[in-house]
Amino acid sequence: MALRPVVSSLFARSLARPSLIAAVAARHASTSAPAPAARPIPPPRGNLATPADFLQAISTPRRGDLQQAVSGLTGEDWNALFGLDGTQLKSAGVTPKQRRFVLWALEKYRQGHDPSDFVVDQKPKKKVRGWGPRVQKGIRVRGRRRPGEK
């Protein structure tokens, strides 16, 4: 009978030691997964020989001048352009919408696509908004006229 309290007290003391638990957990929780591969830097293709050419190719009138916003970070270094990340663009003052677009365009170019194929202009601002199906394209379709409607 005296054996039972000794065993339970040894078990309780071993569980109370955090170093033992941490050692066991660390041994069973480690991974052997390799580090992610570095993203390849594509060579310049076609008429896109410099970062300025690439940024000009992806810039459109509604998106603003991406070349002015990003060229300060990269200069004339092609590797620096494809090494950009969101935190660098944010610290340079690039807006979130432009950051997402630049990183997306870099990835598409990395995958082998040409900027003339994947860059499209933003949708224009809607001309008629707010009144729903009553007024369509500026003309009353149904219902009676409210103040401010045509």
pLDDT in tens, 27-76: 665 567 777 777 888 899 888 888 888 888 888 776 777 777 787 777 78
Judge whether 48 and 78 are in contact, CB under 8 Å.
Answer: no
- pLDDT above 70 (res 120): yes
Q: Classify strands 139-140 and 135-136 as parallel, antiparallel or unpaired.
A: antiparallel
Residue 85: which of 42, 46, 39 has the closest Cα? Answer: 39
**Residue with token string 């690039």:** 94
pTM of the model: 0.59
- pLDDT above 70 (res 137): yes
Give the pLDDT score at 37: 74
More confident position, 90 or 141: 90
Question: Mapping DSSP to helix (H, G, I), strand (E, B) and coil, where does residue 75 land?
Answer: coil
Give the pLDDT score at 138: 72
For 59, which DSSP code? -
